[in-house]
Amino acid sequence: MASTELGARLKQFRQTQQLTQTALAEQLHVSRQTVSSWETGRNQPDIATITQLATLYAVPVDTLLQETTAVPLAKPVTYPSSILLVVLFGVLLVERVTQFSTFPGLYWIDFLIFLLIGLMINLGIAHRHPNVWTPRIHWLGLTVFAGLSLISGSINAFNMGFGLMTTCQFSGLVVVIVLAKKYWQSRSVKLSQR
């Protein structure tokens, strides 16, 4: 395999993960110049480093080493837009401040707000230090948020009142739509790879 082809693939994977050469070098405990030499084809990473890269990019090793460029590269790990989390956070915060409710109802909204803050922190960590667990934690956290929001809004948990009840249902429904879209996208990718 021509090392320039491998270098181009390594660069493309790095860029799809939105990593700089410096950030990748820090994660692999090598210099930025080493990463640059791989991407330009001057040198090639050893098999242990290729295995690390495959784990980091959440793709099989053979995807990194494919000789043909006609085969599309694996999609990067995707996260919901941080805009979604910020909008949900804003909606819940505004409703928390403007709606009258029981103290348990307000505490429940506080819990949902802190759950969103945790997801935003996880998203920040995932962009700086991607690994196998951060996307799983993120999607699991979103699923929990959606379930709790929908259930608490549907049963009017803690007698939170109509405004907070509607906000919980709306927030949960938005996240369910995002999760369903992600599921169908990943399913169609798997089917197209067969």
pLDDT at position 73: 45
What number of residues does the chain have?
A: 194
CA pair distance 181, 156, nearest whole angstrom: 27
pLDDT at position 134: 77
Distances from the Cα of 7 to the Cαs of 2, 67, 94, 190, in angstroms?
Answer: 9, 11, 48, 26
Half-sphere exposure (Cβ direction) of 98: Cα atoms closer than 13 Å: 9
Are the beta carbons of 156 and 120 closer than 8 angstroms?
no
Are the beta carbons of 50 and 61 closer than 8 angstroms?
yes
Residue 19, number of CB atoms within 10 A of its CB: 21
Half-sphere exposure (Cβ direction) of 47: Cα atoms closer than 13 Å: 1
Q: What is the chain's pLDDT, residue by residue, as a tens digit (194 residues)?
A: 456 788 888 888 888 888 899 989 988 889 999 999 999 989 889 888 888 888 888 888 888 887 544 444 444 555 556 888 999 999 999 999 999 999 999 999 999 999 999 998 988 887 777 777 777 888 899 999 999 999 999 999 989 999 999 999 999 999 999 888 888 877 776 676 55
Are the beta carbons of 175 and 138 closer than 8 angstroms?
no
pLDDT at position 64: 80
pLDDT at position 185: 79
pLDDT at position 107: 95
CA pair distance 150, 34, nearest whole angstrom: 49
pLDDT at position 74: 46
CA pair distance 28, 189, nearest whole angstrom: 29
Q: Distance from first CA to last CA of the chain, Å, rounded? A: 25
pLDDT at position 96: 93
Helices (H), 29-132: 32-40, 47-57, 61-65, 82-98, 103-128
